[in-house]
Structures are given as structure tokens and as C-alpha cells.
A and B are shown apart, each in its own frame.
Chain A
Amino acid sequence: MHVEEKMTVETWPAAPEKQTLDAKNKFLGFWLFLGGETVLFASLFATYLALKDSVPRSDMPLAKDLFEIPLVFAMTMILLTSSLTSVYAMYHMKNFNFKKMQVWLGITVILGLAFLGLEIYEFNHYVHEFGHTFTSSAFGSAFYTLVGFHGAHVAFGLLWITTLIIRNSKRGLNLYNAPKYYVASLYWHFIDVVWVFIFTVVYLMGMVG
């Protein structure tokens, strides 16, 4: 099958993200990249665990003083839902339904933006209510670096998916852009998985420990 070929529902293959050699390479390469990213976040988690509640003065806020479950629970639900909507988008991609795929990706982006907005509100809250900043303590540095790296990944993912939606809006699906959509959705799932760990290790364990 050729990349530039005009596709129809009938000719659209079952696994459009892996039809050409370039696509297969992209698929595998991206999985490997996510392997590297996993080590990157593992390192950040290790740093956070080593420096958790490590503050220079006893009057400074600790994890148990800072975090409130309702807000981060809402953020978690929003991001998990956005992962689900990106699955719907990929479902429609496999069925060659371009319009529905674009709509579900649009919803994914909106949910991602909502998550990012809440995260900014959350950081702002810690800074102004508690004086918990990036520079106030080793705990602060480690917290904002871990959660901020995740936030930066979310922001990059939003730019990426938005670019894909706009760039391809007029031309529909083909075997050239299908793998691009697919790896973007893989990336989005990865961000979601990392957040599940942040929710557990930083917030839930922060509340009890």
C-alpha cells in the first residue's frame, strides 16, 4: 500500500498505523521513546521521594498540610476521561471516520486544557496561601519539578494534537497521517499513566504519610 494513495472505507486497513515501513518504524520508535521517558519520570519520582518534606524550617508546610484531595481528584478524573476520549478517537480512526475522530480529539484537547488550568490554579494556591515555592525548600524544588515536568508534557501534547487536528482538517485520513495520530494518542496515554503515579505517590501518599 502506498502512502499517498487516496483511501476509502473499503480499502482502509485494520491497522492503519502500521502499514508502511516508515509507519512501523515510527510506531516502534515511539514505544522505545516512551521507555526512555519512563526512566526520566522514574528519576524524578526518586528525587521527589528522597526530598519529600525536606524543608529548612519547621514552620514550612509539608505534604500533609498542602494537598487537598477534591481538587486533585477532579484533575485525575478529567485526565483519565481525556485518555478515554482519545481511545474513542483512535477507534474512529480505525473505522476511517475522520470527522468523529477529529471531534473526539477536540474533546481530548479541551479536557487537557481544563486539567492544565486546574494545575495552574493549584500551583498558584500553594505559592500564595502557603509560601510553598520552587525556591523555598528542597521539597518545593522536587515537587514542582516532578509535577511541572508532567504539566509541561501535557502542554506539549496539547500543542501536538492541536497541530495535527488543524493540519489535517481539510484532507482527511491517509496512511501518512494515521501513524502520526496514533503516536500522539500513545503519548497522551503515557501522560495519563504518569499522572496516575503522581496522584498515588505525591498526593495520596502525601496525605497519609
Chain B
Amino acid sequence: MSTNAQKRGFGATLWDYLTTVDHKKIAHLYLIAGGLFFLIGGLEALFIRIQLLKPNNDFVSAGLFNELLTMHGTTMIFLAAMPLVFAIMNAVMPLQIGARDVAFPFLNSLGFWLFLFGGLFLNLSWFLDAAPNAGWTSYASLSIAQTGHGIDFYALGLQIAGLGTLIGGINFLVTIINMRAPGMTYMRMPMFTWTTFVVSALILFAFPPLTVGLFLMTFDRMFGANFFDAAMGGNTIIWEHFFWIFGHPEVYILILPAFGIFSEIFAIFSRKRLFGYSSMVFATVLIGFLGFMVWAHHMFTTGLGPIANAIFAVATMAIAVPTGIKIFNWLFTMWGGSIRFTTPMLWAVAFIPSFLMGGVTGVMLGSAAQDYQYHDTYFVVAHFHYVIVGGVVFALFAGAHLYWPKMFGTMLNEVLGKITFVLFFVGFHMTFFIQHFLGLWGMPRRVFTYLPGQGFETSNVVSSIGAFLMAAGVIVLLINVIITSVKNEKVGNDPWGDGRTLEWALSSPPPYYNFKQLPLVRGLDAYWIEKMEGKKGMTPAEPLGDIHMPNNSFIPFLISLGLFIAAFGAMYHGDEGNTWGIPVLIFGLLFTLGSMFVRSIKDDHGYHIPKEELIDDNDKGVKA
């Protein structure tokens, strides 16, 4: 690794990104890959909306519609929202706690490549055989009966990607517990770091049930097991339980980082410290805890009985309490602040009513008796898009604008940013608000068309137009990214002017070792405290010394590649006349184990940046 900032060829840059273990570069990778999958998932959504534009439409066939809606949900949750959240966590969290990197840089890289290979595997289904078509929930009674390999792509692809997420979760937990800068106590951690912490714990305990569920499905579909086959003594409800024991914490895994991003934004652009910080921490932890207690509210109509339904209904409504605490805290943060309506702040302000509506319909759905009416209608579709888009996607847009300078050293254009906001915000409410009523009027979800004269026509047209407005907003954002990258006007440490936390004390982008000397943290909003005392930067907590850095490695790529190869063997081995399936499966697994073996026996002590080089940097300004 060169410490000199010099122009490098494309090949060298590519190799650098293939082998990087730097959390800031891995954040770029997550952002690019997650962004691409977001576009693919968005395209699938547009196809769905075009098909539903008018009654009896034949834009896509019924079969293709099932594939589109399945892949839209699966892609958006697992391959777009999760990695984009991970991109911001990777880019910001280590800086916020004053760390030089994450605890396990190698595993950070491994987590990314597992996610990418899992995502590629899942999306290759469009070109090989058929895409998954049993819905993103892939309920077992339906999915084990599907012919073709669509569901196999789902089970194996998510298995690989899920492994990557689990590894990422453990990594962030250890990073936050062990690597906080001197003085950074738990109750001085920025809110986004807190949400990352709680989310990582949720990942650790929520993903193993999904792993098991996917294994059972893999065994049933590809290896002749009978977990879900009632005729052989199996039970399909097991899948539902595992899926939602994972699936419900999963929605908190997505929304809590969004809460964290908005908490940062409200404080920065109101020029006030976050109102009720400790109650925010408490609410975050409580939401994380309750998130595990409510999974069966997705299964009210399964027939678990009135006692189970009642318990889960009460637990579900209880979550509204900590969430309400948060909403009020954000409002009080703005109260009396000197508010600046920058692009991130617009998203944050728009988030409150949008998300709140999703929360209110959530309480309605959480009432078990009512849920029998709403179940499997467009009311549910409207509800979860209000929380996922109105919460998570708004936060991702806001976070992208807020942290773009920290990730790439240049600001996104504010005018274009506001145009993106207006288009997307209007489009979003047009698309999904009307769907509440479509649901109440009786339009079922997941149907590929509807008949004329049922009163669904106008509303569906409105909804589809809204979808195109959202697409237009995304296109403006892409144009913004291109213009900004071409112009590449470099900005200073704190481009928004009111940064409060440690990441804004560093150059944009930060040098690859982050902090030359670890900073001394003297309270919540550490950088703000120093600024208020008239200081230019953080007080160092240690003398200047050699910095220990991890080596780059290509092995994470190889470990992931092995599982990718093995998945093809597992999928095709049962086909008639197939002879190569089992050998390929074994080869892929041995390839992965062999790569792990090489990692184990080769000592990797990392390297040191000598003190002299760091002093040198001081004279010429920090470079990366």
C-alpha cells in the first residue's frame, strides 16, 4: 500500500478495492453495490406499477409479475436497504467513536464480498432458469411446491448474503465495545453509533433463525428432506415462525439506523444538542428488545389462537411508546433551534409525518381483530412502504447528502438535492397514500391485475404516476452525483459548518489511518464542545507515535467465491442426468475452506506507519 497520493491506473484502483480492508473504502463498495441493487429493485417496482396502471393489463404475464414482486421485495430489503445502511455505518461509525478502523478489517471485507456474491447469485436467476416467485416471505407451503430453480436461488443467495451481514454485525459490536477513543463513554456516543450498536446486536440474534430457515428450505428443495411437507410429517408453519423471528427484528435493523441518521441531522441543522439524549438511548434499546417479542403479529391469520394473538397484539402496540418518545424528542430538538433547511434537513422534517403515518397504520394492523380485515390487502402494502420508504429510504437519501462530503470530499449540489427531495416526496405520497384506500376497498396485494368497474382504476393510475415521480427524483440524484464527481470541488473538514461529532473534526475524506493521534473526548458532541471553546480541532489523547495498520487481502473475495460456486452445485445436482452438481458443491466448499486455511496459517501482523511520515504529513497538510 502506498502512502503517497498519486494518480493510479484503473487496474491498480480495481485491485485496491478488491483487496481493501479500509472501512472507508468498504463503505464505497457497499454504497455502489447497494445503489445498483436499489436501481434494479426500483426498475422492478416500475414494471409492477406499469402492469397495474389499467385493468386487465398484459404488460407482463402473471408468472413474470410474481417474479417481479418477489424480487422487488427481496432485492430492496436484503440487497439495497441493508447494504446502504451498512455503507453509512462503515463510513461514519468508526470515525464517530474515534477509532482508526473497525475491530476486524478482514472480516469487514469478507462481509461485503459475501453480500455481493449472494446478491449476484440471487439476480442471476433472471438469466438462468427463473427468478424466485413465492413472495419475499417465500412461505413454505407455496415455495416447496414451485417447480424450476427460482426458490433455490432465493434460499442459497440469501444464505450467502446473510452470512455476510452476520459477520458485519459482530464486527460493529466489537468495534463499539473495544475501540472507543479515550473519554468516549457509552453515554457520550453519538446517536448514530448507538443505533448501530443496537442494530448489530439485533443482527447477531435475528440472522441465525433465518440461516436455519433457509437451510431447512434448501434441504427440503434440494436434498430430499421433509421439514415442510405435511404428507411426510412436516409442518409449514415452522418456516413462517423462523422467517418472522428474523423478519420482524429485520425491520428494526433497517429503521433504527435511520433514526440514528435523523438524530444527527436534527441536531446539526437546528444547532442544538439532541433533546433527551438519554431517553433516546433508552428508547433505542427498548425498541431493539421489543423487536424480538412481536414476530407473530405477521401471523395473526395463521391460526395460532386468540391467546397468542392477544399477547402479540399487546406487545406490538407497546413498541409505539418508545417510538413516540423519539418522535417528540426530534420535535423538541428543533424547538427553538436556529433551523437551516438543507437537503438532509428537508428529508428529516418530511420523515416525521411520513413515518408517523406508517406507525399509526402499524398500530391498526397490530390490533389482531382488525388485522383479519387488512391482511393481504393493499392496506398492508401501504403501511410497510410508509415505514420502509418514509423511514429508511428517506434516511438513506438524507444520509447520502449529509455524509457525501465525508465519504468523497465533495458536496452534492443543494439545488439538485432539493429537486430530488420534492419529486421523491410528492411521488412517494402519491404512490402509497392511495393504496391505504385501495386496500380498504378490497384490492388484494400480489395480484397481477384487476377487473374494470371495481373502483380501482383511478387510484391505480394515481399510484403509478407517483412511482414515476419517485423514479424521476432518483434520476436527478444520479445526475447530481455525476455532476458533483466531475466538478470534484474539494471541501474542508466541516462542510456543513455545524458538525457536532468527531467525524467532522477530520479532513474530507479522512486520511486512511483516520486519526493521527486518537482524540480526547470530553463529552457528548465532542467536536462541538471544542469548537465552542474556540479550538480548531480535537485535543490529542496520546503522543504522536507509529500507527499500526492491517494489510490488504484478496482472501475475503476467494472465500466468498467458493460459496458462490458451491451454491451452483447444490442447486443443479438434483436435476435429471446431472453429474457435475455434487463435485462442484464439494469443490466450492473446499475452495472456501482452503482459503480460510491459507488465512489461518499465514501470519498477518499488519504494518506500521512510522512516526516520521506522520510528522511529514503535518507540514504538507493531511493527505490520503
A interface residues, Cβ below 8 angstroms from B: 3-4, 21, 24-25, 28-29, 32-33, 35-37, 39-40, 43-44, 47, 50-51, 54-56, 134-135, 137-142, 145, 159-160, 163-164, 167, 176
Contact = CB atoms under 8 A, between A and B. Distances in A.
Given A36-B205, A54-B233, A55-B233, A29 B605 contact: no
A87 to B, nearest CB: 23
The 9 closest A-B pairs by CB, nearest first: A54-B233, A138-B233, A141-B225, A43-B212, A135-B224, A40-B208, A138-B234, A39-B208, A25-B103
A44 B213 CA distance: 9
B224 A3 contact: no
B207 A36 contact: yes
Which of A33, A134, A135, A141 has the most chain B CB atoms closer than 10 A to its own CB? A141
B341 interface: no
Given A32-B204, A50-B238, A145-B219, A56 B174 contact: no
Contacts of A167: 600-601
A138 B232 contact: yes
B173 A32 contact: yes
Contacts of A164: 600
B209 interface: yes
Contacts of A54: 233-235
A167 B604 CA distance: 14
Given A33-B170, A54-B234, A141 B178 contact: no
Interface of B: 103-104, 166, 170-171, 173-174, 177-179, 204-205, 207-209, 211-213, 215-216, 219-220, 223-227, 229, 231-235, 238, 242, 245, 593, 597, 600-601, 603, 605
B207 A51 contact: no
Which of A21, A43, A44 has the most chain B CB atoms closer than 10 A to its own CB? A43
B288 to A, nearest CB: 14
A186 to B, nearest CB: 14
A96 B31 CA distance: 47
A28 B233 contact: no
B212 A47 contact: yes
Nearest to B227: A141
B234 A29 contact: no
A163 B225 CA distance: 33
A29 B103 contact: yes
Nearest to B245: A43
A28 B225 contact: no
Given A44-B212, A51-B227, A138 B173 contact: no
A138 B227 contact: yes
A163 B600 contact: yes
A48 B90 CA distance: 38
Contacts of A3: 605
Contact of B208 (A36, A138, A139, A141): A36
Contact of B219 (A4, A35, A51, A141): A141
A137 B178 contact: no
Contacts of A4: 605
Contacts of B207: 36
Nearest to B230: A138
Given A134-B219, A138-B234, 19 more contacts: A3-B605, A28-B103, A35-B204, A36-B204, A40-B211, A40-B212, A43-B245, A47-B238, A51-B238, A54-B233, A56-B233, A134-B225, A137-B226, A145-B215, A145-B219, A159-B593, A163-B597, A167-B601, A176-B603
B299 to A, nearest CB: 15
Contacts of A137: 226, 232-233
Contacts of B229: 138
Contacts of B223: 134-135
Contacts of A135: 223-226
Which of B174, B233, B235 has the most chain A CB atoms closer than 10 A to its own CB? B233
Given A36-B166, A138-B235, A145-B215, A25 B174 contact: yes
A160 B104 CA distance: 19
A80 B216 CA distance: 29
B173 to A, nearest CB: 6
